[in-house]
Structure 1
Amino acid sequence: MMGMALLASAALGGCARQSYVALADDPGGQGGVALGEAGQRLLETPGQGMAIGGAERPFAVNELRRKADFAAALAAQPALPERFVLPIEATGGLGSAAEQTLERILLAARRRDYPVVTVIGHTDTLGQRAANEQVGLRRAQGVAELLRKRGLEAMELRVESHGERNLLVATPDATAEPRNRRVEVLVR
């Protein structure tokens, strides 16, 4: 299936209620859904719908109807992950904007029913790879501890180090790059 299809019960043809599939908006314009054993029925255009189990041809489903029919399903989708970056200064401490970022992280976690928070430490390429892995882990542990002290309530709090892997700015080995010294926090 190339596009995203939605399923709902909707009134088709009068008062009878019947389930149908509708092709959701596809910003890339590459979507489509084949229905049936041989894929003989096809939805190709966002806003098209087709009865399930019926022999009908695709029909137009206006935006207002799609919103009404699929509101519950769309509301049940989990919120997208939020990503925050805390730069590390040359002294090894957090940057001046860290206070505001920590508050935004806590707020993001409070908005979720069962937050999973992942704290990932990063380094530049100065030093040995194994040592950088440990430096990244200490950075992540420090931020995780700050979040705990400020009242973070999470279903799960993961602490990881990527060390000098996953550089923000690609550099050769043994290169100081301040933008690579950071802690990322993902809230899901």
Structure 2
Amino acid sequence: MMLLVLAACRTPPDKIILLPDPQGKVGAVIVHSATGEQTIDKAYAGVDVSSSGTIQTTMDSQAVVQRRYADLLAARPPRPVTFTIFFLFDSATELAPESTATVRQLKAVLATWPAPEVQVVGHTDLAGSQDFDDKLAMRRAQTVAAFLVKQGIPAQQIETAARGKREPLVPTADGVPNHMNRRAVITIQ
């Protein structure tokens, strides 16, 4: 007969560490357990929560966190990236000259992005009627979606929507054209 003794077996504590966003901003997290709560609001501060609910605060440096959790941090998905492509007046296919560089940047990001999910939202300026602008905005979104499919993004990973003149980048009076509002916004996540 075999006897197995598990002496002093402990479940490791749950660990929560607060990381800053890419711009260095830090929010706050309130950690609740069976026996209390703790707020962490400093970069690289953390808590260990034992199976009994005891909360112990920790504080590491960025270098320590980067070294200790390098594999975990490397496995995080990329943060969403947004691109804006501008169109010529009343066109759903002709891009404004300033969009050429944006298209190059978009292609470069797509070439390195693992399994992208893409949202494309078409917009117009306030020069046309609501119905006309809604249709034009959708055609702009569909033009960009077709381009993305040609770049190798599966169509089922692309969502299109149109806002028409409802969300102008530059507010103007109704009926007033503005080139900054003739756009498609592409978000890759």
Matched, 1:165 2:151: no
In structure 2, the partner of 1:127 is 128
Matched, 1:48 2:48: no
Q: Encode CA deviations 1:81-100: one digit per residue, 9 max, x unaligned.
A: 11111111236321123333
TM-score, normalised by the number of residues in structure 1: 0.74
Q: How far, CA to CA, are the matches of 1:162 and 1:91 in structure 2?
A: 15
Task: Choose the corresponding residue for 1:37, options 34, 37, 42.
Answer: 34
In structure 1, the partner of 2:152 is 152
Q: Encode CA deviations 1:142-162: one digit per residue, 9 max, x unaligned.
A: 23333434x332461222211
Q: How far does residue 105 in structure 1 lie from its aligned partner after superposition?
A: 1.6
Q: How does 1:9-48 map to 2 (within 5 A)?
A: 18-25=12-19, 31-41=28-38, 43=40, 45-48=42-45
Q: How far, CA to CA, are the matches of 1:116 and 1:30 in structure 2?
A: 26
Matched, 1:66 2:65: yes
Maintained 8 Å contact 1:32/1:42: yes
In structure 2, the partner of 1:10 is none
In structure 2, the partner of 1:136 is 137
Q: How far does residue 68 in structure 1 lie from its aligned partner after superposition?
A: 2.8
In structure 1, the partner of 2:4 is none
Where structure 1 has 5 or more consecutive residues not aligned to the other structure, the ranges are 1-15
In structure 2, the partner of 1:78 is 77
Matched, 1:100 2:101: yes
Deviates more, 1:18-27 or 1:157-166: 18-27
1:61 counterpart letter in structure 2: D
Maintained 8 Å contact 2:90/2:136: no
Q: How far, CA to CA, are the matches of 1:56 and 1:86 in structure 2?
A: 49
Secondary structure of the residue aligned to 1:97 is helix
TM-score, normalised by the number of residues in structure 2: 0.74
Maintained 8 Å contact 1:23/1:33: no
Q: How far, CA to CA, are the matches of 2:15 and 2:166 in structure 1?
A: 43
Q: How far does residue 116 in structure 1 lie from its aligned partner after superposition?
A: 1.7
Q: Percent identity between the aligned chains?
A: 21
Change (3 A) 1:101 1:30: closer
Q: How far, CA to CA, are the matches of 1:43 and 1:159 in structure 2?
A: 39
Q: How far, CA to CA, are the matches of 1:29 and 1:99 in structure 2?
A: 35
1:160 counterpart letter in structure 2: A
Q: How far, CA to CA, are the matches of 1:179 and 1:95 in structure 2?
A: 10
Q: How far does residue 80 in structure 1 lie from its aligned partner after superposition?
A: 1.3
Instruction: Provide the alpha-carbon RMSD of the alignment.
Output: 2.9
Q: How far does residue 179 in structure 1 lie from its aligned partner after superposition?
A: 1.0
Secondary structure of the residue aligned to 1:84 is strand
Change (3 A) 1:162 1:50: closer
